[in-house]
Amino acid sequence: MSKKVYDIAVLKGDGIGPEVVEEALVVLQAIGTPRFNFTEYPCGAGCYLDCGDPLPDSTVEACRTADAVLLGAMGLPDIRWKDGTEMRPQIDLRIILDLYAGVRPIYLYNRDHSPLRGLDAGAIDFVILRENVEGLFASMNGGIELRREVAVDSMVITRSGTERIVRYAFELAVQRARSPMRVTCVDKANVFKSMAFFRSVYDQVAGDFPDVERDYAYVDALSMYLVQRPKDYDVLVAENMYGDIISDLAAGLVGGLGMAPSGDIGPDAAVFQPSHGTAPDIAGKGLANPVAMILSAALMLKWLGDREDDGDAVQGAARIENAVQFIVSQAGAGTPDIGGTMTTSELGKAIVEVL
């Protein structure tokens, strides 16, 4: 039986995180059913200043036990560890909770949002699957630095880690049911052993999905193809760092980071957050685009609905997407990053009114 009240852990974080989360919470409340218990937990660079830890154990535990987690953005450029790296509790959380699948839908809502010419709304519609817990990020916090002269970070690709992200990608292509269904393997298999291995595992998993087209692209060439012919893509799967980079490139095709939602999904937990960071340059000015966060909340609803067999939640997700589409497809509607004049809360309110 479907669960009609979901416990959601809310991690607002730093910079523009709290501003965009606030709008997402109002939108979620506006759909009426299902209902939510939102509980806020401390996390981020500000939390480190307050209590000496950017990711307290109690916050991790709350994320583990909640039905899902909504996260704003974390980290501030002036607050760093001794080795010079920024605090990234959102990345630590992925590893602790094994949120291996970074799901990043890229959709063009309005032709004016794209720097590319001649593309109508809906002409760009693909999903990037970023492997979230290994790859080049495996040595995060553990890379080697010798005598302040040599520094090494390693690419770690495992069979089981690759199998599960590639399988997720193929299953998603089947669920999207586009014609043709296609999964593009993004790698650098012509140069790196680790990437040739990634591709060989992709091929093995692809054998289980004969109706889905196989497609291959080296990450450098893909960066060009995404700009030249973004219509060709359906689902793309990549190791962690490549997935990170092509996600920002892809966001740029549809209006920027403020339009790019994401979900970090694991076997037992899931965190939904916009693809952008804390954008300290625009924090507190009402300039942040809340759409990426609001669409991430919709992704959360869809995920909850599928998992709990809750038709109301699945429908709620679609309603939020439609409301966003209705508003941002209008000429000049939106925050300045997408060519509008609305503030963060005006845009949030407009979406709520449609709902």
Smallest gap from Cβ 347 to ligand ATP, in A, equals: 10
Contact between 162 and ligand ATP (CB under 6 A)? no
Contact call for residues 245 and 98 (beta carbons, < 8 A): no
Give the shortest CB-337-to-ligand ATP separation in angstroms: 4
Which residues, 6+ apart, have CB-to-CB distance to 110 below 8 Å? 121, 255, 328, 329, 330, 331, 338
- 278: contact with ligand ATP by CB under 6 A: yes
Q: Between 89 and 277, name the residue whose CB sits nearer to ligand ATP.
A: 277
Give yes or no for residue 273 binding ligand ATP (CB under 6 A). Answer: no
Under the binding rule (CB under 6 A), the answer on residue 289 touching ligand ATP is yes
Q: Interface with ligand ATP includes 46 (CB under 6 A)?
A: no
Q: Which stretch binds ligand ATP (CB under 6 A): 56-64, 98-106, 286-294, 306-314?
A: 286-294
- What is residue 4's three-state secondary structure? coil
Q: Give the residue at shortest CB distance from ligand ATP.
A: 277
Q: Annotate each residue in 103-142 with x if it binds ligand ATP (CB under 6 A) or - if it does not, as one string.
A: ----------------------------------------
187 touches ligand ATP (CB under 6 A)? no
Shortest Å distance, C-beta 127 to ligand ATP: 19
In the window 204-263, what residues touch ligand ATP (CB under 6 A)? Answer: 257-258
The residue among 326, 303, 325 whose CA lies nearest residue 313 is 303
Taking the alpha carbons of 25, 86, 105, 65 in that order, is the dihedral positive or negative? negative
- Give, as one character, the DSSP assignment of residue 34: S
Beta strand extents in 4-97 (DSSP E only): 5-13, 35-40, 68-73
Task: Tell me the backbone φ, ψ of residue 2, rounded to 5 degrees.
Answer: -75, 150
Tokens 């039905």 found at: 67
Sign of CA dihedral 226, 133, 89, 13: positive
For ligand ATP, the closer of residues 222 and 294 by Cβ is 294
Stretch that binds ligand ATP, among 21-29, 92-100, 131-139, 277-285 (CB under 6 A): 277-285
Question: Under 8 Å CB-to-CB from 154, ≥6 apart: which residues?
Answer: 136, 138, 139, 143
Nearer of residues 139 and 315 to ligand ATP, judged by Cβ: 139
Q: Is 190 helix (H, G, I), strand (E, B) or coil?
A: coil
When binding is defined by CB under 6 A, the residue of 168, 170, 337, 340 that contacts ligand ATP is 337
Largest CA distance in the chain: 60
Nearer to ligand ATP, 62 or 282 (CB): 282
348 binds ligand ATP (CB under 6 A): no
Number of residues near ligand ATP (by CB under 6 A): 14
What's the token pair of residue 165? 């992200």
Of the candidate residues 28, 136, 288, 355, the single one contacting ligand ATP (CB under 6 A): 288
- Residue 336: strand pairing partners: none
Q: Given the rule CB under 6 A, which of 107-115, 153-161, 182-190, 276-284 is the region that contacts ligand ATP?
A: 276-284
Distance of CA 79 to the CA centre of its chain: 24
Burial of 21 (0-12, 13-18, 19+ CB in 10 A): buried
CB atoms within 10 A of CB 230: 20
As a whole number of angstroms, the distance between CA 156 and CA 161 comes to 10
Q: Is residue 292 a contact residue for ligand ATP (CB under 6 A)?
A: yes
x-marked contacts with ligand ATP along 58-87 as a string, rule CB under 6 A: -----------------x------------
Task: Determine which residue in the list 63, 282, 299, 317 makes contact with ligand ATP, applying CB under 6 A.
Answer: 282
Residues of this chain that bind ligand ATP (CB under 6 A): 16, 75, 257-258, 276-279, 281-282, 288-289, 292, 337
